[in-house]
Amino acid sequence: MTVALITHPACLEHDTGDWHPECADRLRYVLRALEGEAFLPLIREMAPLATEEQIGRVHPADYIRMIMEVAPGPGERIPLDADTLMSEGSREAALRSAGGAVMAVDAVMEGWAKRVFVATRPPGHHAETNRPMGFCLFANAAIAARHAQAKWGVERVAVVDFDVHHGNGTQEIFERDASLFYASSHQFPCYPGTGAGHERGIGNVVNAPLEPGATGAQFRAAWDETILPALDAFAPGLIIVSAGFDAHKADPLAQLRLETSDFGWVTRKLLGIADIHCGGRLVSLLEGGYDLDALAASAALHVRTLLEA
Ligand SMILES: [Zn+2]
């Protein structure tokens, strides 16, 4: 299977400080885990800078300007909310994170890759139309979805999210647009507080909240019984995955109890639906995951599964 890996060293220069869970080592661990022989077939590409036009399909011009004008000096960090901040390298990292998501869409639509994993940071699913939040500056998955529609004419795009936190940003951006679909499993209650089962948008949002302590069996049941049937019924032309690995039992930020193998399982299920509706095309974007070893092992299994026929 032709699978691309998109990343960029500038994403290591988003410097959140010594004690922040969303740190550059996360990306280093993921990339090191993708170095072995099993990953030689990956087509490796550098994430380009997203353009204002691409980001502007989701965020208004004054929001983009606000982010661009935060200009920390060397060693300086400027907070945007309680846990989201920018360092000198953050602007380029954020532009490449969004740009990598856009490039991934182009890759699967041009056909030089069937599936793509984008290993970049900062992540995106908490960023709302007008608000940076939860380590996120730009809504990368939503930007990719709108790019697929605007440039490639894909009518219906689905974002599915197995990060342990609810993607409040993606939901807020999608919830009144019937051409977009958002589904998430996540710990509830947990940060950011949204994602109750009754939040359904205009019928295009599916939330499958899981109680703290829920195991892989409960995670798989939520996907099998709730998310996957709704995704299948939506019949997307493209699936974009918000791939966070912080539902792992070792993760320090939440209390779900998934095993590494559960991420392989959900990946294979999504590939099955992509084969039915999307000509096999699937784009996956790194979101959270804060236990470095669990993150690396889970992301590696995710990408190994993408490489399967
Ligand atoms: Zn998360």
43 close to 3: Cβ distance less than 8 angstroms? yes
> What percent of the chain has pLDDT above 90?
99
Q: pLDDT band for 149, please (50, 70, 90 cuts).
A: very high
Kindly state the average pLDDT of the residues 148-165.
Answer: 98
Q: pLDDT band for 1, please (50, 70, 90 cuts).
A: confident
Short-list 243, 247, 244, CA closest to 259: 247
Residues 6+ apart with CB under 8 A from 68: 91
Q: Where in the sequence numbering do the catalytic residues fall?
A: 126
Torsion of CA 306, 161, 13, 131, to 10 degrees: 160
User: Ligand 1 centroid vs 123 CA: distance in angstroms?
Assistant: 9
Kindly state the average pLDDT of the residues 270-284.
Answer: 98
pLDDT digits (tens, 9 = 90+) for 2-28: 999 999 999 999 999 999 999 999 999
- Provide the strand spans (E) within 154-261: 157-161, 180-187, 205-210, 238-243
Cα angle, residue 28 at apex, residues 26 and 34 outer, rounded to 5°: 105
Alpha helices in 215-291 (DSSP H): 216-222, 228-234, 260-277
pLDDT digits (tens, 9 = 90+) for 71-121: 999 999 999 999 999 999 999 999 999 999 999 999 999 999 999 999 999
3-state secondary structure labels for all residues of 48-101:
CCCCHHHHCCCCCHHHHHHHHHCCCCCCCCEECCCCCEECCCHHHHHHHHHHHH
User: Ligand 1 centroid vs 253 CA: distance in angstroms?
Assistant: 8
Kindly state the average pLDDT of the residues 176-204.
Answer: 98
Q: pLDDT band for 203, please (50, 70, 90 cuts).
A: very high
Predicted pLDDT at 309: 85
Residue 35 DSSP class: -
User: Ligand 1 centroid vs 225 CA: distance in angstroms?
Assistant: 22
- Cis before residue 79, ω within 30 degrees of 0? no
User: Ligand 1 centroid vs 233 CA: distance in angstroms?
Assistant: 27
Residues in the chain, total: 309
Distance CA 270, CA 194 (A): 24
Distance CA 61, CA 130 (A): 10
User: Ligand 1 centroid vs 251 CA: distance in angstroms?
Assistant: 10
Predicted pLDDT at 104: 99
pLDDT digits (tens, 9 = 90+) for 207-256: 999 999 999 999 999 999 999 999 999 999 999 999 999 999 999 999 99
User: Ligand 1 centroid vs 210 CA: distance in angstroms?
Assistant: 14
